[in-house]
Amino acid sequence: MCETRQENEPASAILCKACGVCCTGHIFVTADLEPAEIETTQALGLNVLQSHPDKPVFRLPCPLWKGQCTIYTYPHKPSICGDFRCKLLREILDGQLQLNEALTVVQRAKQLIQELEGELHDKQVINFRRRLFEYVSQLERSTSHTEAGNTFRMKAGVLLVLFAQRFGVTGLFNTLEQEQSPQR
């Protein structure tokens, strides 16, 4: 998965740079910033939203994701980029999970994302989570349930369970006003 593996690179770094589902908008819509990080984050080309002056965020997907995370090469990256720890990463750091097992989970999540992505409409909205939420809501409101729609909802459900059980991220289908950002 991660083609530019450096010798003696920690498993945690390999996992994060290869995974990226927290950066790509597949789990989160925004990422929290510290107020002092606004200018440097904007300078990196990230879309900073200051709708809440005490809690600025930047919009995901991160434009610095290039098939793997490149933000770690920037000395003034937002602190959330190094602070956020999903359940998989915490298990790697705690020695409860081997890297190859974690990468298999990531591969399964990305496979499901790719399958769902191919069926999602409204490519104008770049955030996967937002499009998934809207499409599943549309399917739920529909009076006619097709086999294709049922299959899509099942795959979406499997992905949400995978995100909850393996990545430790729940509540992804809260109303969009309650969108989550990664927590430190």
Torsion of CA 122, 33, 172, 19, to 10 degrees: 80
Q: What is the pTM of this model?
A: 0.81
The predicted-structure confidence for 18-60, as pLDDT tens digits, reads as follows: 899 988 888 888 899 998 999 999 999 999 987 765 689 998 8
Q: What is the pLDDT of residue 109?
A: 96
In the structure, what pLDDT confidence band is assigned to residue 4 with cuts at 50, 70 and 90?
A: very low
Q: What is the pLDDT of residue 112?
A: 96
Which residues does residue 57 pair with via DSSP β-bridges, in sequence order?
A: 32, 49
How far is C-alpha 56 from the chain's CA centre?
18
How do beta strands 48-49 and 57-59 pair?
Answer: antiparallel
In the structure, what pLDDT confidence band is assigned to residue 105 with cuts at 50, 70 and 90?
A: very high
- Spatial CA neighbour of 32 closest among 13, 52, 12: 52
In the structure, what pLDDT confidence band is assigned to residue 125 with cuts at 50, 70 and 90?
A: confident
The owner of tokens 């290869």 is 18
